[in-house]
Every structure is written in C-alpha cells, then in structure tokens.
Amino acid sequence: MTAPPEITARQDLMGLLARARPARLAQLFPDMPPHDMLRPPEIGAVMVRGRAGGTGAPFNLGEVTVTRCVLRLTSGEVGHAHVQGRDKAHATRAALVDAMMQTQAAGHLQAAVLAPLRAEESARRSDRATKAAATKVEFFTLVRGEDQ
Amino acid sequence: MYVAVKGGERAIDAAHAWLAEERRGDTGIAALSVAQIREQLALAVNRVMAEGSLYDPDLAALAIKQSRGDLIEAVFLIRAYRTTLPRFGASSPIDTGRMALTRRISATFKDLPGGQILGPTFDYTHRLLDFALMAEGETPASVISAPVSSPTGETGVHLAAAVPHVTGFLNRDGLIQTETPGDSTPPDLTREPMELPATRPLRLQALTRGDEGFVLSLAYSTQRGYGRTHAFVGELRIGTVAVEMDIPELGFAVQIGEVEVTECETVNQFTGSKTEPPQFTRGYGLVFGQTERKAISMSLVDRALRWQELGEDFTGAPAQDEEFVLMHADNVQATGFLEHIKLPHYVDFQAELELIRRLRAEAIAAKEAAE
C-alpha cells in the first residue's frame, strides 16, 4: 500500500518536526502566527510496542512521553502535531508549520525551517554512523599450522 | 492491622527538610544539573527509563537527582508520574531491522553481512580506575578516525536502512524456529492485573521493565545449570529506531520521535522434544536505552520460560517458573511490600506478644503438671 505523494510529504515533514530539537525549531521559527487552538497542547504517553524475536507477536515495551496539539490558522488551515517529549511550545510550533505548509508560505518554510532541520539531522546521523563505522571490526585470519 | 496514629507531623517535616539538605550535600560544591545527569550518567538514566517503563531522558535524570542516586527510588518516581499521563495510543511495533546502529555484534558469525560494530563499549577496557577523570577540567579529545572504507553515503541516512538480523540467515536454512508474525493487541500489565498462565507478550513486557539485578541473576542461574538453555548471543544490537503511530483524525501514521533500544537475540541449542524437531530455538530481549546486560539477561530468561511451548521438561528451576519470575521481577512492587514492614505494626505486634505470653504460660503450666 503506497500513500499518495501529498500524504507521504506531510508524513515526512511531521516526522522531521517531531524529531527536531525544540530549541532549534524555536530558533528557526521564532514568531508564531495567530491561530486558534482546536486541541491545546496536551502532554500524554504513547505505548511503544516491539515484536517477540524482532518479527513475531507484538508486545508492550514501555511508554514514551508525547505532546500533541491541533490548531487552526486564521486562514482556516488545520495543523496537527504529535511530538516526543513534554515541550508544549515544540508541539505548537510543529502544528503551526504543518498548517502553514498547506498555505502560500510553504516554499519559504521549506527553505527556512525544514531544509536546515533536515540537513542538521542528517549531519547528526552521519556523525554517529561514522563513529560506529570506525569501530567496525576488520577480521584477519592467522596462518594456521596445516597451511604451512 | 493498621491503626490511625496522630502526632509526628513536626518530626516528619523536620525529616523531609533534612532530607532536602542532605540531598543537596555540601553547598560549597556546585549543584548537579539535570542536563549533566542526562548527558554524563546516561546509563543510569537508561536503566531508570527501562524499569520505570517511560522513555523520557530528562524526567529520568530529574528522578535520579531527586532520589539522591537511589535508582529504584527513581524508578518509583517515574512510575508514579506515568500514571498521571493520559494514554494517547500505542505505536506500531518498532522495526529493529531498520535501526540506526551504534553497536552490533554476533557471537555466532564472524563475517555477518553488515559487519561487527563495537560501538561505545566497556568491553576490552582494563577496568582500571582512570584518575584523569578525577583531575580538574579534563576533556578527552575525540580521536575517532574515519574508517578505511566508509559504509555510508554522503548523508549517512542509509545506516538506518535495513540491516538483516542474524536469525534471518538461519531461518533461510530452516535451522531455527521461526516467529509467527501477528498483529493482535498485546496484553498490558499496566492496565489489567497480570493473569497467569501468561502469554509470551505479557512475559516480555514484565521482563523488559523488571529489575535488572533480578533478571540478571535468573539468567545467570540458567547458565549455571538451573534450567540450562545453551544460549549463544546470535546478535546484540544497540541503536535508535523511529516510533510511528497511527493518527486516526489524520488517517495515516506519522513518526512521533525516536528511541534508543538494545536488542538481544539468542540462538539456543535444542536437540528436539516430543513435539519439536531438532533446531535452534530463540530467546529475545528488547530494552529501552543502552542496556545490554539487561537485554542479554532478558533473552535468556525469555528462552527458559518457553519450556512448555517447546515441549521441554520442567526441571523445577526458578527461571522456568513463570509465576516465580513474573511475580518477583518488579522492583517497585517488591520494594513496596518489603519496606511496608518498617511502618507501624503496633497492634499486630501487641497481638503477637499476647499470643506468645499465653503459649509460654500454657507450656510452662503443662510442664509443671507433668513433673
């Protein structure tokens, strides 16, 4: 099942906003435009599931704190956010960006907010991946007696 | 029996004030920030998140600070906090095959696809105290050099791409028992009281939040012969995975964040039973954070508890006894019942005193009558 491209794009940006560092998002998107709260930022928990043996039956691993928010811009677009942690401003900003990405401001936000977040996340991951790769074992086999 | 007792409020207030003072310690020494605990005592934070059953590094660090480093007390604080949170839902099962790896080792295959990645491990350290850490102002310079051949592209993103599980290779040859995939809603012991006999999903939930020391000791007991399962670590991996949840009002799933987890899969020698052919069997451990001792322990105990399903004999070993394991794994429950005996039991004890006095008097009278 493949989702239509506009849904994939929205999933992608919502995930990016959820994973963003709240302080960095606040830097890139400091001024919140006027909006009405449909569901004011609320802190709760989501039960994270795993699977037995990695691929088998689901089981409950433990919860993660999550803040959710739904709001409407004065122009009518509705934005949603579910972000890890307990930062209400983070959830509000994520919902605002989600809503504004449905407006004329999308192009500007893409360049001013989403692109830097994406680049920085990518750099963080790449940094850890490089460190991990440096600890990769290169085995070599010693010459055994019978080979001599 | 408990009786309402009045009095002691002033003493309790003074005790709490002193506790706060002792928690702070010498005010001539800089106070520890929550961020410092989160960053520099990360493995304690991970343990509190795993056993507190709530992934939130800031809260776990706060709990450690508040509890003066008493990790079971910190777990208690986290458990108490999580009961105040509304439950928004459950995530899709995390896909550990798409983990951004920081560590991945196998004790069964040297040259496994994807390679062996040691990660930031204590293994191969000499366990000698490093007095440099005690000296003022040390900042060890990063000496990590780029690998000879970088396995990542320019973005690094594809490290999060699929890295196959070792058990998958064995599956291909039919040499290992397979897991039955499913999408049934698992039981949740934080919502309904635990019912025995338990299903494997319920056991896994109890083990992943169980006390590390208890689970470790049980796992060790199986290695020493009490319910031996001949385990090899097929694969141990640590890294971050995305947490994705369906949002009903949107009609699609979104990533809500990512968590670090440790996963251990054991491959166990199995010569067959009345019901199962000879093949390798599996134990599974999955724990929040970088918690490899716990994850390995969990996988050994999980395997030991599967004796019935695999048609093995019950040898009476503690690690095979589901009720024994599940009812005693939780350190908050255990602490609560253990420590309650220090609270006033004056009336109970008065009754005991009277009973002993009466029995003694009767015994002495009987002895005298016999003489």
pLDDT in tens, A96-139: 999 999 999 999 999 999 999 999 999 999 999 999 999 999 87
A61, A66, A86 member nearest B286 (Cβ) = A61
Residues in chain A: 148
pLDDT value, residue B316: 94
Asked, for residue B27, whether it belongs to a domain, the answer is yes
Which pLDDT band, with edges at 50, 70 and 90, does B3 fall under? low
What's the mean pLDDT in B356-371? 93
**Taking a C-beta distance cutoff of 8 angstroms, is the pair B116, B104 a contact?**
yes
pLDDT tens for B78-123 read 999 999 999 999 999 999 999 999 999 999 888 888 889 999 999 9
- Sorting pLDDT into bands at 50, 70 and 90, what band is B157? very low
Say which of A14, A52, A130 has its CB closest to residue B200: A52
Parallel, antiparallel or unpaired: strands B281-288 and B54-55: unpaired
Task: Give contacts of B206 with chain A, Cβ < 8 Å.
Answer: none
- Assess if residue B198 is contained within a domain: yes
Residues B311 and B367 in one domain: no
B252-268 vs B231-247, strand pairing mode: antiparallel
pLDDT at B158 over 70: no
Report yes or no: A122 at the B interface, CB cutoff 8 Å. yes
- Note whether B215 and B346 are same-domain residues: no
In a domain, B124, yes or no: no
User: Does residue B330 form part of some domain?
Assistant: yes
B47, B76: one domain: yes
- Using pLDDT thresholds of 50, 70 and 90, give the confidence band for residue A145: low
For residue A122, the chain B residues in CB contact (below 8 A) are 155-157
Confidence of residue B138 (pLDDT cuts 50, 70, 90): low
Give the C-alpha separation, B100 to A73, whole Å. 36
Residues B102 and B35 in one domain: no
Residue of A nearest to B234 (CA): A53
Which residues in chain B (97-126) have CB-CB distances under 8 A to chain A? 97, 100-103, 110-111, 115-120
Is pLDDT larger for residue B135 or for residue B188?
B188
Say whether residue A113 is in contact with chain B using an 8 A CB cutoff: no
Q: Is the pLDDT assigned to residue B154 strictly greater than 50?
A: no
Contacts of residue A129 in chain B, CB cutoff 8 Å? Answer: 100, 151-152, 156, 159
CB contact set of A37 (below 8 Å; sequence gap of 6+): A69, A70, A71
B329 and B350 assigned to the same domain: no
Tell whether A42 lies on the interface with B, counting CB pairs under 8 A.
Answer: yes
Same-domain check for residues B75 and B100? no
Question: What pLDDT does B137 receive?
Answer: 62
A38: contact with B, CB 8 A cutoff = no
A104–B contact, CB cutoff 8 A:
no
Lowest mean pLDDT among A57-71, B116-130, B131-145, B347-361: B131-145
Report the mean per-residue pLDDT for chain B: 90
The reported pLDDT for the residue numbered B2 is 58
Residue A118: in which H helix or E strand, if any? Answer: helix A115-134
Query: CB-CB: which of B54, B56, B255 is closest to A15?
Result: B255
Three-state SS at B100: strand
Q: Does A13 have pLDDT greater than 70?
A: yes
Residue B75 included in any domain: yes
Q: Examine the pLDDT at B155 and tell me if it is beyond 50.
A: no
Cα angle at B61 between B58 and B66, to 5 degrees?
Answer: 125
Six token digits for residue B263: 């996963």
Q: Are B298 and B362 in the same domain?
A: no
Alpha-carbon distance A83 to nearest alpha carbon in chain B (angstroms): 5
**Contact predicate B98/B162, CB 8 Å:** yes
Measured between beta carbons, the chain B residues lying within 8 angstroms of A138 are 148
**Is there a contact between B94 and A54 if contact means CB atoms under 8 Å apart?**
no
Q: Name the residue with higher pLDDT: B33 or B4.
A: B33
Percent of chain A surpassing pLDDT 90: 88
Mean pLDDT of B231-256: 96
Together in a domain, B362 and B326: no
Q: Give the distance, in angstroms, between the CA of residue B359 and the centroid of all CA atoms in the same chain.
A: 47
Whether B200 and B313 share a structural domain: yes
Q: Which residue of chain A has the CA closest to B259?
A: A64
Q: How far is B67 from chain A, CA to nearest CA, in Å?
A: 21
Q: How far apart are CA A6 and CA A4, in angstroms?
A: 6
List own/partner pairs for B219-224 with CB under 8 A and 24 or more apart: B219/B296, B219/B297, B219/B298, B219/B300, B219/B301, B219/B319, B220/B297, B221/B317, B221/B318, B221/B319, B222/B300, B222/B301, B222/B303, B222/B304, B222/B317, B222/B319, B223/B300
Please tell me the predicted confidence (pLDDT) of residue B175.
Answer: 87
Q: Residue B166 pLDDT > 90, yes or no?
A: no
Confirm whether B231 is domain-assigned.
Answer: yes
Higher per-residue pLDDT: B27 or B269 = B27
Please report the pLDDT score of residue A27 as a whole number: 97
On the question of pLDDT at B318 being above 50, the answer is yes
- Count chain A–chain B contacts defined by CB atoms under 8 A: 251
**Do residues B312 and B371 share a domain?**
no
Determine the residue among A136, A139, A141 to mutate to test chain B binding: the one whose Cβ has the most chain B Cβ atoms within 10 Å. Answer: A136
B91 touching A (Cβ < 8 Å) = yes
| 8 A C-beta contact, residue B322 and residue B305 | yes
Residues B235, B106 within the same domain: yes
Reply yes or no on whether the pLDDT at B360 is more than 80: yes
- Domain map (residue ranges) of chain A: 5-147
Q: How many domains does chain B have?
A: 3
Residue B139 predicted with pLDDT over 70? no
- Residue B236: give the domain boundaries: 96-119+159-178+191-334
Q: Mutation target for B interface from A46, A83, A137: give the one with most B CBs within 10 A.
A: A46
Are A58 and B110 in contact (CB < 8 Å)? Answer: no
Closest residue by Cα to residue A67 from A99, A45, A93, A37: A45
* B300 and B170 together in one domain: yes
Residue of B nearest to A16 (CA): B255
Query: Is the pLDDT at B153 greater than 50, yes or no?
Result: no
Q: In this complex, is the C-beta atom of B76 within 8 Å of any C-beta atom belonging to chain A?
A: no
Rounded CA separation B57/B45 (Å): 6
B60 vs B113, residue with greater confidence: B60
Identify the residue with better confidence: B11 or B154.
B11
Look at residues B82, B109, B136 and tell me which one is the last residue of a structural domain. B82
Question: Is B272 in the A-facing interface, judged by CB distances under 8 Å?
Answer: no
Using a CB-CB distance cutoff of 8 angstroms, which residues of chain A are in contact with residue B147? 130, 133-134, 136
Task: Decide if pLDDT at B57 tops 90.
Answer: yes
Bridging pattern class, strands B100-105 and B231-247 = antiparallel
Q: Does B242 touch chain A (CB under 8 A)?
A: yes
**Considering only A9-18, A113-122, B308-317, which range has the smallest mean pLDDT?**
B308-317
Over range A39-44, report the average pLDDT: 98
Mean pLDDT of B229-234: 91
Residue B205 pLDDT class (50, 70, 90 cuts): very high
Alpha-carbon gap: B363 to the closest alpha carbon of chain A (Å): 57
Lowest mean pLDDT among A7-11, A20-24, B33-37, B367-371: B367-371
- Place A67 in a pLDDT band, splitting at 50, 70 and 90: very high
Task: Provide the token pair at B365.
Answer: 């009278």
Mean pLDDT across the stretch B165-186?
86
User: Does the pLDDT value for residue B60 go beyond 80?
Assistant: yes
CB A10, CB A78: distance < 8 Å = no
ipTM, two decimals:
0.93
Mean pLDDT for the stretch of residues B269-274: 80
Q: What does residue A110 show for φ and ψ, rounded to 5 degrees?
A: -55, -45
